[in-house]
Amino acid sequence: MKLIFELGTDGQGTDLLPECDVPKADPGPFARSSAVRLPQVSEVELSRHYAALARRAHGVSDGFYPLGSCTMKYSPKINEELASMREFTGIHPLQPEDSVQGCLEVLARCETMLCEITGMDSMSFQPAAGAHGEFTGLLLIRAYHKSRGDEQRRKIIVPDSAHGTNPASAAMAGYEVVNLPSGPDGCVDLDALKQAADEKTAGLMLTNPNTVGLFDRNILDITKIIHDAGGLCYYDGANMNAIMGIARPGDMGFDIVHLNLHKTFSTPHGGGGPGSGPVGCKASLSRFLPGFLPNPCGSRYSLKRPPNSIGDVKAFYGNFLVVLKAYAYLLELGKEGIPEAARNAVLNANYMMSLLKGHFQAAYDRPCMHEFVITLEQEKKTSGISAADIAKALLDHGIHPPTMYFPLIVQEALMIEPTETEPRETLEEAAKVMNQILDEAQKEPSTIHLQPLHTPVRRLDEVAAARRPIVCYEYPQE
Amino acid sequence: MKLIFELGTDGQGTDLLPECDVPKADPGPFARSSAVRLPQVSEVELSRHYAALARRAHGVSDGFYPLGSCTMKYSPKINEELASMREFTGIHPLQPEDSVQGCLEVLARCETMLCEITGMDSMSFQPAAGAHGEFTGLLLIRAYHKSRGDEQRRKIIVPDSAHGTNPASAAMAGYEVVNLPSGPDGCVDLDALKQAADEKTAGLMLTNPNTVGLFDRNILDITKIIHDAGGLCYYDGANMNAIMGIARPGDMGFDIVHLNLHKTFSTPHGGGGPGSGPVGCKASLSRFLPGFLPNPCGSRYSLKRPPNSIGDVKAFYGNFLVVLKAYAYLLELGKEGIPEAARNAVLNANYMMSLLKGHFQAAYDRPCMHEFVITLEQEKKTSGISAADIAKALLDHGIHPPTMYFPLIVQEALMIEPTETEPRETLEEAAKVMNQILDEAQKEPSTIHLQPLHTPVRRLDEVAAARRPIVCYEYPQE
Amino acid sequence: MGSYVPNTKKEQEEMLRAAGFSSFDRLYDDIPADVRLNRELKLPSGLSEMEVRSSLEETGKKNHVFPHIFRGAGAYRHYIPAFVKSTVSKEAFVTAYTPYQAEISQGLLQSIFEYQTMICSLTGMDVSNASVYDGAAAAAEAVAMCRERKRDTVYVSAAVQPQALSVIRTYCAGNGIKLVLVQEKDGRTDLEALDALPEEAFACFYVQQPNFYGCLEDCSAIARIVHNKGGKLILGCNPISLGILKSPGDYGADIAVGEGQPLGMPLSFGGPYLGFMAARKELMRRLPGRIVGQTADIDGKRGFVLTLQAREQHIRREKASSNICSNQALCAMTAAAYLAVMGARGLARAAESCMAKAHYLQEQLENAGCRRVHQGPYFHEFVTVCPPGLSSPQILKALEKQDFLGGLPLDDSRILWCATEMNTKTEIDQLVQIIKEVAEA
Amino acid sequence: MGSYVPNTKKEQEEMLRAAGFSSFDRLYDDIPADVRLNRELKLPSGLSEMEVRSSLEETGKKNHVFPHIFRGAGAYRHYIPAFVKSTVSKEAFVTAYTPYQAEISQGLLQSIFEYQTMICSLTGMDVSNASVYDGAAAAAEAVAMCRERKRDTVYVSAAVQPQALSVIRTYCAGNGIKLVLVQEKDGRTDLEALDALPEEAFACFYVQQPNFYGCLEDCSAIARIVHNKGGKLILGCNPISLGILKSPGDYGADIAVGEGQPLGMPLSFGGPYLGFMAARKELMRRLPGRIVGQTADIDGKRGFVLTLQAREQHIRREKASSNICSNQALCAMTAAAYLAVMGARGLARAAESCMAKAHYLQEQLENAGCRRVHQGPYFHEFVTVCPPGLSSPQILKALEKQDFLGGLPLDDSRILWCATEMNTKTEIDQLVQIIKEVAEA
């Protein structure tokens, strides 16, 4: 289809603003010499353009989306409606406190509820995404050690199964990353951890359930080893959906947690954002939190910066409307719904895993939490069928593929996370399709490399894209 | 795809309402013996179901829609936004007058503006659609003659080129229909009209431009003949888009007009409704109008029923939110935009006609108004290519076909109405596609009968549908 | 300012020449000079989008949205699920025309087929059309359906909603049907009066369940009487009430009609609403309006089309029984989406809540001295008479001052109240408290 | 009540057995007993959708939406075209993840490619990323981009928005970059102070145009000085202002960043907003965040993919220069839809109106005794000092009483005002009148 720049002509477009009712001000030498080059397209053509783009996009509403580690659960429509209320969208972030009590109530109550779920004592909503939360968490670790004059702690221990953002965040926070190899079960190797943890250790970053979808039974030992070495334990909340209401990072010995509200707490992803990655911590670390937090003060709230705050990681109070949607979700589920969602996420994952058994090889053959990893390693060797082949073939069936090639510790990995909002029938249909794809590919391996056949475009040349990057439309010369 | 009844299972679904906070009331013998059979489907599956339905629908936002006589112009987004304001959607129709002054203002101002455009003196918004407006208009004619004791007028003259609703509406209003054959130019045959008009004539129903897209130059003679015979002239406003701001039915001698706000005044069609078909009339007929009209009364409005009102044709005041959208449209276009829109509708139609020349046969080879009719009569005879063939072939190109087989006075008719909101490029592309389809079909006539090939379903068996009607899903026996 | 004409002046000129015209005026050569409007329209100049928005915001402020509503009488405030709003605002649904081209309109056609099926389930009927303008028009169309050569008199209960009666009257006046009212007794159709009607020329009887006063009619008895006379029973029904109450089908009605607004449509000062119409199988070909039917394509795949068009005016012209050629498609989709997301469980809860809250309200009003006028069971509406010394306007004004829209005043002393699931107990208690205070003042 | 778990208890039991578990508890066998939460969560019970809506409506009422806003300082109220809202609320856009699977994500990828192109046009840069969290984070990421082994000191003008400065400070503290403030003089960067900085270790200079006080900086001179020292110039800019003002590219800046909120996003108590980031071609591979590139599929058809991923953390892990792996995709689409529907003409009109209204406001305030603090040209913000005897809180309180949100108080006597195209002349006159009345009282 055409790019927006290939539509319309000079002079087209709509006039949306009135003429100015006061005298013009002259920008003088600051004036730009020629107009910005922007689309000149009528509203009807624009509306068709975006309608066509929407038809070429695939959301949760278009089908099953078992993208591992991304928790593509259904986002209730009511939350979108609430987040578009002008009582929230029309509020300037720098209004007087008395006029924003509703916003502060949302932040404060959401904080309380998420602290209860994570076992933390306070929380800042300023981070806008998971990686942003990680960075924030690491700055808290830094501030903590610094406050104790314990500045030789320059190392963060990160398992090799971790999300790629973990080491990157640690590096951004100025830390040296100690890579911790996983044991054969994908879990932390306690001996290796004991060896790694020492007086240089600032902390450990871990998610539990881990990135292969297993709960590390030794979690209390792990956090104890770190604490004994004087470090802090950071919980990557990307995998919280399996355990909310069942177990709490705080009770596992973690000191800091970030959550992905756009995963576990159902706020939609918007094609990559906006998300929200609040960071919670134990009371001993609260004074370092970034931003301004709503403090109850009689019957109202006032905004206060924590006394030893690390500062700000974003302007204002985070992605407020995203927090609002998560708050609404928490109200909807409540104390019964939260663990019920977790249980069903785990049930759906195990059920789906059982349906794939006999066709696909599970990377770890034991019950999983909210997601599981299958490996095409054998297939790749014997018949050349890769994880990507299976993924691309699924596209023709209206199913979003699982996460491919992650975690790195599993070869030819496909990571499947059905989430609790999928009905049984969807799981059964998807498993049937996957099994069929594999069967057919095994019979005739050559065909699968050509798939997908029915998508708006077929397999794209990513190498060429990176080698000679075209990242901006070039208007034809006139 | 599945029907909604084929999704979900017993017990699924979401609970949206709270439990009742007061004691239950017992319906006793009035209680139904078993629950209503309705879908039991989770919200995620429902959302996918309707998303899939939307992908199988085609609106103006999905492409060119030159459906003749339907005026599928672009509906500005702002109007939808305004019509969803709770200050309008939250108003009960039977609230005290003081609390609905905003609604009355919309009705009153919209009436004034549309009266100016049509040359009428007052207007009722009660009719919900064009056909509803016709029926209302005919009741006005009836009431008028009755009020004069002139009850022998039992006939309504309707040209054979008229919309099918015209004779049906006349019949519904208790009139006998006199069919008036058109002249060779698709216009009214004056001699035939003179013959038909007599002391039994209650009135004439006409649209001008007529249904072949031509403006009847003899319009003043026509209305005079009817008036001289003691009848009234009714204007079918379906084709108003060509002449708004250019010429007015009131100035042509018409006494009553209905408008399709969902055509000329841009309110979207919603897949068939809701529309709005207000009826305007000259002052001498105002006292017969249906419903309650807003009367200015100092700085406020009050609702008054006209003294000799025909009653009501619908509850309350018509499709208010539709009227609101049309009102917003009138404010947007204003006195400059209204005739500009009309002129461009006519220009686009003539331009498109010129692009098809040489390939397609125009039914009337002269400049047209907002639409024009082509005929496949010759093609059908020589190569078997019908109007329907061309229409169905267009479906594979993302273009909505023109109106087929209307008006009845043209054989193998395709009626094309581009509207003013289409850019030149769209007209050129569509004309190219149509010309190509015809060229290819002429070379290889057999292939076109199989088209479309790429739509969600292919040509459907309409005969079977009508012969053994299945109009309701039958649940499988359990 | 805004005109939504995309082509620039330059393009227009080029197109004009290409189409063979020397100027814009030439386009209108067919319009005689003495018919042209040779002046500007007397309208304001066009406004920008931003100005239109602020203008209508100003207009909107002249309305008052009552947070507490206890008025029904044909338009009801119910909870509208977020799913419903987000679904029916999809651009492809909103901007499509009537699905004449079935191959690219399966989404709309299937949604209507699903609507028809749900209306049949709800009403206990065999066949539903794709909807008509509103409940009152549905009643009028149903009456017209029942007219036969020798049966040209229709009877209507005096206890039906006045708007419905008015529309029926207008339609009947149009096509020469005789309309006779059957009196009411204690807020219900007087069965003796009904029974006493002549068999001859008896086309049909129209009654509502619940009726205008909220009372539940003895529809089984009514059906017996009407059928004994060879007439048809048209039952107007509140769709929410059917979540717990017997359906028209249960009573043996021939045609079921009603106002579909409670199924997910906002109050909107009276429209757009939805008229639903369903009937027994034998009446299928007399049903007016669009109907969608199932069929198959040339590959044998299931598909849907507009069907039974032989009934319709574009084929039959003046021989058609109705001129209706549109439906309230988007409203029908709203109703279907509402029924789907509520489900049987949700609809029953809505109905139960309506009934329970109305009964609680009525008890509390009774305590405040507003006694119910009628005897016998009711659903979610009922009529009270004001306590001695107080008038309807006094009570309603006092309520309005506290932001309560009270019931509809039927006259100086009688008020028609309504409660729905939207009214909380607290709110009801407040309302009654306000009335008590007025009574004491 | 609501849980959005579709499967019924019965289905769950069946699935459980089929997957080989004897009970729900067995699913969690891997979680040691002493780690489990063996109690209910201390949360309220789940609410129905209807209750959640009314609960949040109540919460919303505790906010006050000012109809008249004259405050900016990093968050601006502009007209949001209806087209923008209806476009970005499309379900497929809202509910998609990052477009990893390009074949079914062309809609999102193309929209981002279009966004990148428009940001390049706007800023006069060669390459834009797919957006970052907000303008402040964009500034901080840009600063990190410029750090080189021997150039590890970054300079920031004291006249930048405090939030941006604060975030830069936090990021710098994290990765050990030295940050030095360059003082301001009469509301602008002190060019002499800038010129006097040492060349050594000079990584970059960050300044805003217009700056926090609304003043327009002499960016040409700044670029000269910075480049002479071998440093990079990062220009933070207000995207609306670029409709009429020179772009970062015109000034020779190396990186352009800014807060994209004015491009169609509501105020929303501070988020979600949009950080845009664009740079000269040479810096492309140092740009953090997602970037979409054009390529072709195996049939040669144009298509788009996430590209240059070698920079990113999931490949480079701890060697990545940034950890950012999401963007504000829906906000980027909002900005693109806004720029597309406004067009160059509309954007220029918005910018002209902002500037004109601010200047009119400033003149009127001057008349009311609120003199501007700084000299020299400004865009749509400026600082005044209160007349003798009046304090910022007094003025702002008086305005709030009349439903006006006045400028941001910088201290007891200085106020930072802002006007946009949303402020009418009438409104400005009213505001000034209120102040005059306070002054007289």
- Whole-number pLDDT of residue D317: 63
Transcribe D375-419 into DSSP letters: -S-BSSEEEEEPPTT--HHHHHHHHHHTTEE--EESSSSEEEEE-
CA A464 to chain CA centroid, nearest Å: 28
- Place C314 in a pLDDT band, splitting at 50, 70 and 90: low
Q: Which residues of B touch A421 (CB under 8 A)?
A: 42, 44
Q: Which residues of B touch A77 (CB under 8 A)?
A: 43, 47
Neighbours of D38 (CB within 10 A): 10
With respect to residue C2, please indicate whether it lies within any of the assigned structural domains. Answer: no
Calculate mean pLDDT across residues C155-163: 98
Count the alpha carbons within 13 Å of A46 in the hemisphere toward its beta carbon: 32
- What tens digit of pLDDT does each residue of C185-217 get? 999 999 999 999 999 999 999 999 999 999 999
The pLDDT tens digits along chain B (478 residues) read 999 999 998 888 888 999 999 999 999 999 999 889 999 999 999 999 999 999 999 999 999 999 999 999 999 999 999 999 999 999 999 999 999 999 999 999 999 999 999 999 999 999 999 999 999 999 999 999 999 999 999 999 999 888 888 999 999 999 999 999 988 888 999 999 999 999 999 999 999 999 899 999 999 999 999 999 999 999 999 899 999 999 999 999 999 999 999 999 999 999 999 999 999 999 999 999 999 999 998 989 999 999 999 999 999 999 999 999 999 999 999 999 999 999 999 999 999 999 999 999 999 999 999 999 999 999 999 999 999 999 999 999 999 999 999 888 999 999 999 999 999 999 999 999 999 999 999 998 888 999 999 999 999 999 999 999 999 999 987 6
pLDDT at residue D261, as a whole number: 98
Cross-chain residue pair C50–D421, CB shorter than 8 Å: yes
CA D111 – CA A271 distance, rounded (Å)? 10
Give the A:C interface size as CB pairs under 8 Å.
52
Place of tokens 């005879």: B381
**D163 shares its domain with D211:** yes
**What is the percent of chain C where pLDDT is above 90?**
92
Number of CB pairs < 8 Å for A and D? 671
The pLDDT score that the predictor gives to residue C353 is 98
Mean pLDDT of A317-339: 97
Residue C164 is assigned to a structural domain of this protein: yes
Instruction: Specify the pLDDT at position D315.
Output: 60
Residues C122 and C220 in one domain: yes
> pLDDT averaged over chain A?
95
Residues of chain A contacting C67 with CB distance shorter than 8 Å: none
DSSP B71: -
- Under an 8 A CB cutoff, do C10 and A17 touch? no
> Where do the DSSP E strands lie in A149-305?
155-159, 176-180, 201-206, 232-237, 256-259, 279-281, 293-297, 300-304
Residue A478's pLDDT is 62
Domains defined for chain B, CATH in brackets: 78-333 (3.40.640.10), 335-453 (3.90.1150.10)
**Which residue in chain A has the smallest CA separation from C86?**
A77
Q: Name the DSSP class of A237.
A: E
Instruction: Please report, for the domain that includes residue D227, its CATH number.
Output: 3.40.640.10
Q: Using CB atoms, which residue from D101, D163, D396 is nearest to A395?
A: D101
* Chain C residues lying within 8 Å of A15, measured CB to CB: 1-2, 48
pLDDT score of B90 = 98
Q: Based on the domain organization, do C236 and C154 belong to the same domain?
A: yes
Minimum-distance CB partner of C50 among A16, A45, A78: A16
- d(Cα B101, Cα B93) in Å, to the nearest integer? 12
Whether C368 and C230 map to the same domain: the answer is no
C371-372, strands of its sheet edge to edge: C371-372, C381-385, C414-418, C408-409
Beta strand ranges found along A67-125 (DSSP E): 122-124
**Percentage of residues of chain A with pLDDT beyond 70:** 100
Is the pLDDT assigned to residue C312 strictly greater than 80? no
C323: in domain: yes
Asked if B76's CB is within 8 angstroms of C49's CB, the reply is yes
Pairing of strands D255-259, D275-279: antiparallel
Strands D302-306, D404-405: parallel, antiparallel or unpaired by DSSP? unpaired
Question: Is C369 touching D (CB cutoff 8 A)?
Answer: no
Pairwise CB contact (< 8 Å): B77 & D8: no
- Whether residue C264 is predicted with pLDDT greater than 70 in this model: the reply is yes
Residues of chain D with C-beta less than 8 angstroms from the C-beta of A391: 101
Contact C313 B131 (CB under 8 A): yes
Whether residue D87 sits in one domain with residue D213: yes
Min distance B47 CA to chain D CA atoms (Å): 9
User: Among the residues of A148-196, which ranges form H helices?
Assistant: 165-172, 190-196
Of the candidates A99, A217, A310, the beta carbon closest to that of D63 is on: A99
Taking an 8 Å cut-off on Cβ atoms, the answer to whether B16 and D49 are in contact is yes
Minimum-distance CB partner of B77 among D7, D10, D83:
D83
Find all residues with CB under 8 Å of C7, minimum gap 6, and list them.
A12, B344, B423, B424, C15
**Residues C294 and C362 placed together within one structural domain of the fold:** no
Q: How close does chain C come to B136, measured CA to CA in Å?
A: 9
What local confidence, expressed as pLDDT, does residue B478 receive?
Answer: 61
pLDDT digits (tens, 9 = 90+) for A112-122: 999 999 999 99
Q: Write the burial class of residue C367 (CB in 10 Å: 0-12 exposed, 13-18 middle, 19+ buried).
A: exposed
Interface contact B63-A48, CB threshold 8 A = yes
CATH code where residue C427 lies:
3.90.1150.10
pLDDT digits (tens, 9 = 90+) for A372-427: 999 999 999 999 999 999 999 999 999 999 999 988 899 999 999 999 999 999 99
Chains that touch C (3 or more CB pairs under 8 A): A, B, D
Picking from B11, B15, B79, the nearest residue to D48 by CB comes out as B15
> Which of C48, C50, C68 should we substitute to test contact with D (largest number of D Cβ atoms within 10 Å)?
C50
**What is the number of structural domains in chain D?**
2
Residue C54 lies in a domain: no
Q: What is the pLDDT of residue C322?
A: 80
What tokens appear for C276 in the block?
Answer: 């639903």
| Interface residue of C1, C4, C319 to substitute, partner B, most B CBs within 10 Å | C4
Q: Are residues C214 and C276 in the same domain?
A: yes
Identify whether residues D281 and D319 lie together within a single domain: yes
> What pLDDT does B189 receive?
94
Check whether C315 has a pLDDT greater than 70: no
Interchain contact, C49 vs D91, CB within 8 Å: no
B42, B44, B426: best mutation site toward chain A, by most A Cβ within 10 Å? B44
* Residue D28 belongs to a domain: no
Task: Identify the domain boundary among D338, D365, D385.
Answer: D338
Q: What share of chain B is helix, strand, coil (3-state, %, to 5)?
A: 40, 15, 45
Most A-contacting residue of B17, B47, B87 (CB-CB within 10 A), to test interface: B47
Query: Which residues between 85 and 104 in chain C have a beta carbon less than 8 angstroms from any beta carbon of chain A?
Result: 85-86, 91-92
Domain boundary among D303, D338, D373: D338
For chain D (length 441 residues), average pLDDT per consecutive 10?
83 96 93 94 97 97 98 98 96 95 96 98 97 97 93 97 97 91 97 96 97 98 98 98 98 98 98 97 94 96 91 63 85 98 96 98 97 97 96 97 98 98 98 94 80
Using DSSP bridges, classify how beta strands C408-409 and C127-128 pair: parallel, antiparallel or unpaired. unpaired
Nearest CB to C90 within list B54, B343, B452: B54
Q: What is the pLDDT of residue C326?
A: 81
Residue D270 CA to residue A125 CA, distance in Å, equals 12
The 3-state DSSP composition of chain C as helix, strand, coil percent (nearest 5) reads 45, 20, 40
Scan residues 112-141 of C and list those with Cβ closer than 8 Å to B: 113-114, 116-118, 120-122, 126-128, 130-131, 133-137
CB spacing of B338 vs C259 below 8 angstroms: no
**Cross-chain CB nearest to A44 (options B7, B8, B421):** B421
Q: Is residue C233 located within the same domain as residue C152?
A: yes
Classify residue D427: in a domain, yes or no.
Answer: yes
Q: Which of D1, D8, D92 sits opposite B9 (nearest CB)?
A: D8
What does the alpha-carbon distance between residue B349 and residue B341 come to, in Å, rounded to a whole number? Answer: 12
Residue C1 has pLDDT above 60, yes or no: no
Q: What is the pLDDT of residue C318?
A: 66
> How much is the pLDDT for D309?
80
Q: Do A273 and D327 touch (CB under 8 A)?
A: yes
Out of C49, C86, C421, closest to residue D81 by CB: C49
C243 residue type, one letter: G
- pLDDT, residue A26, reads 95
User: Is B25–C359 a contact, with Cβ atoms under 8 angstroms apart?
Assistant: yes
With CB atoms and an 8 Å threshold, state whether C6 touches A42: yes
Residue in C29, C164, C267 nearest the CB of B367: C29
Q: Give the gap in angstroms from C-alpha D74 to the nearest C-alpha of chain C.
A: 23
A48 in contact with chain B, both atoms CB, cutoff 8 A: yes
Summarised one tens digit per residue, pLDDT across range C274-300 is 999 999 999 999 999 999 999 999 999
Residues of C in contact with A17 (CB under 8 A): 48-50
- Which residue of chain D comes nearest to B78, CA vs CA? D82
Amino acid A184: pLDDT? 85
C-alpha–C-alpha distance, residues D315 and A178, integer Å: 17
Quote the domain boundaries for residue C396.
Answer: 68-77+343-440
Task: Please choose, from the candidates C237, C340, C254, C329, the residue with its C-alpha nearest in 3D space to the C-alpha of residue C292.
Answer: C329
Q: Which pLDDT does position D287 carry in this prediction?
A: 94
D434 and D287 in one domain?
A: no
Confidence grade of residue C313 (pLDDT, cut at 50, 70, 90): low
pLDDT computed for residue C309 by the predictor: 80
Domain annotation covers residue C267: yes
Q: Which amino acid is at A51?
A: A
* pLDDT score of A371 more than 90: yes
Residues 43-102 of D with CB under 8 A from C: 49-50, 53, 79, 81-82, 86, 90-91
- Mode of pairing for the β-strands spanning C232-237 and C202-209: parallel
Q: Which subunits count as partners of chain A given 3+ CB pairs below 8 Å? A: B, C, D
Pick the last residue of a domain from D294, D317, D338: D338
pLDDT digit string, tens, across residues A264-313:
999 999 999 999 999 999 999 999 999 999 999 888 999 999 999 999 99
pLDDT tens for residues C366-386?
Answer: 999 999 999 999 999 999 999
CB D40 within 8 A of CB A329: no
Q: Are C308 and C368 members of one domain?
A: no
Amino acid at B475: Y
C41: left (phi over 0), alpha (psi -120 to 50) or beta: beta
Q: Are residues C327 and C411 in the same domain?
A: no
The Cα of B74 is separated from the nearest Cα of chain A by a number of Å equal to 6
